[in-house]
Structure 1
Amino acid sequence: MQKKYSLNWNRDHLVDIENDIFHMPFKGDDIILGYIFGGNESPNPDKFVFSGDFNVVGNIDYITNDLWIPVLSKRMIDLLTSLGSFKYELIPCEIFDFTIPHEEVFEDKSKWLYKPNIELNKDYYALRLLDDYVEMDYEKSEYDILIKDPLRIGSIENLVLRSSKGGLPPLFRIKEKLSQILVPESVKEELEASGLKGLVFESEII
């Protein structure tokens, strides 16, 4: 039986900065996690605009950001989709160099229209999983219960799932940990072997 891991950001390269990229404000950005992870239908952005460190952007495949949403390189998305089928939505990301003052970047900041000759990286996409949740087997899994809320699960040391028709997709979620993106061990090994950067895998799902 394959182990399951949570996919997280590797933040070891960050020095004197909290994230690689930082979003440009938009209506509903304070509830975007509910859209990405919770299934809420609003907001529904057609793209995300970020400023970022161009010494890192383009070299990291799973990139840290201040929205705390999964932002993947096209290379990482292509690999994942080659490993199996799963339902998802991709939201384009546009990233400009954060060393350039905003007044030199935008022709119209209210519409995020850029001035001519502004360099943009468009190789990243925010990922929203649309597949149904995979069912956790409570009897076989090893997990803790939150002391302050006995009806909720804390950390999961060993996740066992109920049998899923057709096997597990490359990325999946369980309803007990809505904001965690999970991968089977075989997918973890493929991602590690590919040389993709910015990823870390945790066997304990928190």
Structure 2
Amino acid sequence: MRLLDALAAGNSSTRLEAALAVGTHPDPGFVDALVERCAIEPDFFVRDMLTWALTRLPSEITVPKLRAELGSEHAQARSQALHSLSKIRDPNAWSAITRSLLRDADDEVARSAWRAAVVLVPDGEQEGLAAELAMQFGRGDREVRLSLSRALVALGDVVEPVLRTAMASHDPTVRAHASATERLLRDPDAGFELAVVEARRVVALGAETTAC
């Protein structure tokens, strides 16, 4: 009971220590408290420790609880559950990564879904996942676009066909994002900002050539 109380303490350091203690001495009896706390915990470091504690428990107990959170109306509950599933890496979680989560209106949920999907995708499903992720080209701010590019790059050469299609899009934002992703695929050490700048330059030059 002291640990349960500590997980909800007002001081973030106390909550962090409690999550560490639960993970150090894993007890299935804490799974509900950990999952529930993930949905509302405001501190990033505490959330990360809560996820670590969940990875210490048997996946046959944690995965069903986390899958249930994916239907929550609260974005943080969905996002953190996806993050935890990506760390647990149980293949049974793949079917829970739905199209609606990959296209979630909340950017943090979508980013978590992309990361979880590329970790959990089974052999033979990578091309379909790449095609689905490519539907999001041009979405959001720099961080969102970088997350999508990293997810696609993680899938490897299988993404080349969808990149070629996106680079031929009528939307210059989509073309630039796809071109930057293609550069990162070829050179993982390339800076994303430089890749975007170069992609925009290429798009602009193409537009000028077409106009001429």
TM over 0.5: no
TM-score range, shorter-chain basis?
A: under 0.3
Higher RCO, 1 vs 2 (CA within 8 Å, ≥6 residues apart): 1
Higher strand share: 1
Max radius of gyration: which structure? 2
Higher helix share: 2
What's the TM-score once normalised by structure 2's chain length?
0.22
What's the TM-score once normalised by structure 1's chain length?
0.22
